[in-house]
Chain A
Amino acid sequence: MIFNNWSTKVPGDKEAYEDVQNYILENLGIKVEVIMAPTNGSEAAQKLSTMLASGEQLDIWWGSWEDYYKDGIILPINQYLESPDAQPIKDAWDPSNGWMNTTDNEGNIWAIPRMPMLQGSPIFVRNDWLDLLGMEQPKNFDELNKYLYAIKELDPYGNGETIPLLLQGGGNPVANTAACLLGGYTKYGQGRFVDETDGKVKPEYLADGYVDFIKQMHQWYVDGIIHKEFMTHATTDVKELASSGRVAATAVWYSRIVGQDLTLKEIVDLDTSKHDYVLGWNREGVIGPNGQYMQCRYLGNRQGQLISSKCKNPEAAIKFTAWAYEPDNQRILKYGLEGKYWEWDPNVENARELGAVRKIEGAPAYNREFDVALGPEAERREIIYNEDGIRNMANIWLCEDTADVSITTYNPVEGETVFDTLTLDDVAPMGDVNTYFCEEIAKFVKGDRSFDTWDAFIQDLYDLGLDAYIEECTRQYNELHK
């Protein structure tokens, strides 16, 4: 039994569900049942907790292995990965990428990874407006900044509604932007780093150059380069603005943007002889004021596919997952059975090679109940083109650009250390420190607090418990790297 708690879908028709279920049974000899999680995240978490607590026979779900492994809720899966059936999973994941995040310091693997290291926070710049200004895709911060101010001045959308640079806020209002730009200001970009002056592991905001990053955000805020309400913008707001045609450049997580290309093409008069996409990007990366890539490398996370310790047949759970990694099988899990729910698009030449499928009208509704969260390493195998024969922007990003991490700034501490976050939270809880940081950093960006008080701000963080956190991080880091 699988709890599909990764995507936000509602169940489709029973007939479609059973068709796919029977297909898996016939081809794999495993009967898979799927429970769809509520679309609301906290409700989904509650339902999962209730199911686990009530002892329901739940075999697979997605989550952070750290939440479960100490209490014996999930199985270490090393032995099951040795099975030949598991080979597609092993083939998909590079040992140095993904597995590290799901393996404890004793070598137990607790989850099949979902997110690898990737390039996920690029800067997209609108191609037609670059043309308008006679500029090229920015190669460095100065060119980017020049473009942003020129666009602000030009206001091509009109009525003062052009947004030169789209950012996303969040609980930590600058974290999303830091992922896109901080590598251009501090040596290791986002995440903890070893301070060479005292050998201690510290959070990014204590690194040289961090305050310059915040000063730049403040300058953009004052000059109207970024939206006055960006700190309140959630993912849906960002997507809405990105597809509105008002945005000249973006510095947010890539998936917020790449899915908007087809909508943008409907409202933007793009010279398709010159550009494939409305929002373009520099495949050579963008260099920051410190001479490094501005974009920080996404280092994956502890999330993955977990197998319950109550699972009666872990081999079957692994076998199904490995089967799902194959592109042909993935297509079944995504769209349903070929010939009944979808067909290769007859209007597209080489549709099979191009991955162009179209829905069959009148088929029962299949809402991807069995489309489980395997992550980019599995999903990268399917190539999709738009109707105009141009490679789908979301697909090219997923398959190619996200995999190119060479144009990002890498943080070795975060990339090569699995901190015990539960112990950290127990020994040095950061609730108050984080609350204070988020609250005050917003004031610095908006200009409600003077940068003259930056040192006092840092001292306040220490007073709230940052020193205990640094000590524990350093202890764990030294323990792991001795």
Chain B
Amino acid sequence: MVNEKKRSIWYYLKRDRFIYCLLIPGILYYLIFHYLPMLGVIIAFKDYKPFFGLQGIFTSQWVGFKHFMKFFRSAYCMRLIKNTLLISIYSLLWGFPIPIILALLINEVRGNLFKRSVQTISYLPHFLSAVIVCGIIRNMVSVDGGLVNAIVKAFGGTPVSFLSEPQYFRTIYIASGIWSGMGWASIIYIAAMAGLDQELYDAAKVDGAGVLKRMWHITIPGIMPVICLRLILQIGELMSVGSGKILLLYNSQIYSTADVISTYVYREGVGKMNFSFATAIGLFESIVSLILVVGSNAVVKKLGQEGIW
């Protein structure tokens, strides 16, 4: 065994300079589009308007915690946080396992043509815009010839205006989210399964393990690092329910369950060009998300799995 001489980092940088050069576009991308804009977070503490331009970020008036106080003093602050968290938690509870189950099922499909067809069909909804998805939802649950109400009527029920009743909103939102996202989310699990050692399956078969046993004892443990990674990342997004789909579906009748932080920010911030307010709430969400990611990462590590750092 050759005892390699310890060399400085500059030696390796010089030696592999062309390989390191490949990193430059990626680093520049993150610097320019992700780190540099972080400076803009100071507008959360200022009264900034978008047409002030870049210099306005620094020259606009400091207002301290005014925008944060406006949010926390709102009579609806707690309801907004509650609605945001409930939608996220339910989405996680119902939406997280389904792509895994779908990936497990697709992994067991033997006919290649059928397998690819199923995969393609399951990905398709991901490529539909929120406007189209919400249009489909509105048509399906409408009292005017909607499929769901047709079924309700067929069973002797009275048509229900689902998008006017707060108790149905979360179910509609989460179910449609699962439908449109499960195929796409399953890709990463299918990819992870492709990397599992085939010999493990062969050995298990020889030992008499059926399909379910092989899934339970080989596939799931094999993809567990990926599951943990995605779980941590999704927990980090608990506070950030996007406004796009909700704005297209909600109305004042269902604010009690549908109004979330992002829709409130849209109404009170973006809609009134109050970007400082929107940034302040975004900063609040980011801080909570960071705490959640760090916390969940620690829990996953305690459970003996790999964290994200």
Contacts and interface: CB of A to CB of B under 8 A. Distances in A.
Given A429-B70, A442-B253, A228 B52 contact: no
Interface in B129-172: 138, 142-144, 159, 161, 163-164
A112 to B, nearest CB: 20
A219 B143 CA distance: 20
A171 interface: yes
Contact of A446 (B54, B76, B164, B268): B164
Interface in B19-52: 49-52
B272 A425 contact: yes
Given A49-B273, A52-B51, A429-B70, A439 B142 contact: no
A54 B251 CA distance: 35
B76 A432 contact: yes
B143 A228 contact: yes
A42 B252 contact: no
A442 B252 contact: yes
Contact of A439 (B52, B164, B255): B255
Nearest to A64: B273
A189 interface: no
A435 B51 contact: no
Contacts of A438: 252, 255
Contact of B253 (A53, A425, A429, A439): A439
Interface stretch (A19-27, A66-74, A118-126, A135-143): A66-74
A116 interface: no
Given A49-B50, A53-B51, A67-B273, A173 B75 contact: no
Interface residues of A, number: 35
Given A173-B251, A439-B256, A53 B70 contact: no
B282 to A, nearest CB: 15
A229 B143 contact: yes
Interface residues of B, number: 30
Contacts, number: 79
Q: Is the interface of B mostly helix, strand, loop or mixed?
A: helix
Given A228-B164, A231-B251, A231-B252, A432 B74 contact: yes
Query: Interface centre among B50, B51, B144, by most A CB within 10 Å?
Result: B51
Contact of A172 (B50, B76, B252): B252
Contacts of A53: 50-54, 56
A435 B76 contact: yes
Interface in A166-184: 169, 171-173
26 contacts: A49-B50, A50-B50, A52-B53, A53-B54, A53-B56, A54-B53, A55-B53, A67-B273, A71-B51, A227-B144, A229-B142, A229-B143, A229-B163, A229-B164, A232-B161, A232-B163, A232-B251, A431-B268, A432-B75, A435-B255, A435-B259, A439-B253, A442-B251, A446-B164, A446-B253, A464-B75
Given A229-B164, A231-B164, A435-B76, 5 more contacts: A42-B270, A53-B50, A173-B253, A429-B70, A441-B252
Shortest Cβ-Cβ A-B pairs, 8 listed: A438-B252, A49-B50, A52-B51, A53-B53, A442-B253, A432-B75, A439-B255, A232-B251
